[in-house]
Amino acid sequence: MEWMNALAGGTICEEREALEEAVAREKTPGEATLFLGAVRALCENDRRYLDDAVKAVRGNVSHDRVTLVSGAFIFNIGLTVANRQFIEEGARGLREAVLANPDKRYLDVAATHLEKDSLYREEALRLYERILASCPADAGALVGRGGIRENRAVEMLDQAEEDFEAALRSDPTCASAHYEMGNLLAVRGDYLQAIPRFRAALQYAYWVPHAAKAGIAYCLHRLGRHQEAAQAARESLSLIPDYDYARTLLAEIETTLGRKKGQERMPST
């Protein structure tokens, strides 16, 4: 298993069972041990699992790989528990790893993590630009750059759209490109065009399907298709019951439906 791809793609925590099996097969602590310790640290919000794994693999896994994985997970733990010290420590580790090994996969891991925090998005953008300088059709980097442009300013939506379209030309099955295009179209008010994009993201196994379903719910709601919107919001919540956005959206939809029923019951004058 290529754990690095899962780390860059944000799906590494889904590989916990596979990691446990890989660790059982390792004759000496190696990459599987490192990644499993990191996943446990993130799931339990306890970095001691990661620190123990780093000690166990010392000498068996390259220093730059250990630094990259540690930096990524410490950064994520910091985001989860709102600890700026961890976020900054993680960012330093990601920088150090990329400096030691500017491999495309390292740049990708660093960029996809740094862009999660607004203070590091410009740095992430520069990393995506480095990837695209050597791999202009890299779908992941195009989506990453487009996402940062989309969040930067309304004036940059056209540039973001160009990136998403380029990503889909490179890889028509790129779920994240479909999802981001759906978001962009929804921001513009093109709800009918956005819905198929969110559905395509689900078709191609977008890694946060609850967000895509919530996107569909929002667009249906804005189009006045409230019953369908409510169903889509419930589907989102069935995946992540404490997803605040979908919960708030469903409450708004149900309020609208309640008002409509009330209006239907009112006698005509």
- Sole residue written with tokens 């000498």: 59
Give the phi and the psi of residue 135 in degrees, each rounded to 5: -135, 75
Q: What is the pLDDT of residues 75-94, one digit of tens each?
A: 988 998 899 999 999 999 99
- The pLDDT of 109-129, averaged and rounded, is 95
Q: What is the pLDDT of residues 186-241, one digit of tens each?
A: 999 999 999 999 999 999 989 889 999 999 999 999 999 999 999 999 999 999 99
> How confident is the model at residue 1, as a pLDDT?
44
Rounded Cα distance between 187 and 201, Å, is 17
CA gap 55, 57 in Å, rounded: 6
Residue type, 189: G
C-alpha 142/C-alpha 160 separation (Å) is 9
CA angle 148, 168, 225 (to 5 degrees): 80
The predicted pLDDT at position 264 comes to: 60
pTM for the structure as a whole: 0.84
CB 77 within 8 A of CB 15: no
First CA to last CA distance, the chain:
70
Per the prediction, the chain carries an average pLDDT of 91
CA distances in angstroms from 220 to 194, 223, 230, listed in the order given: 10, 5, 9
**What whole-number percentage of the chain has pLDDT above 90?**
74
For 157-169, how does the pLDDT look when each residue is reduced to its tens digit (9 = 90+)?
899 999 999 999 9
Average pLDDT over residues 33-51: 88
pLDDT at residue 210, as a whole number: 95
| Cα–Cα distance for residue pair 110/122, rounded to 1 Å | 12
Enumerate the β-bridge partners of residue 214: none
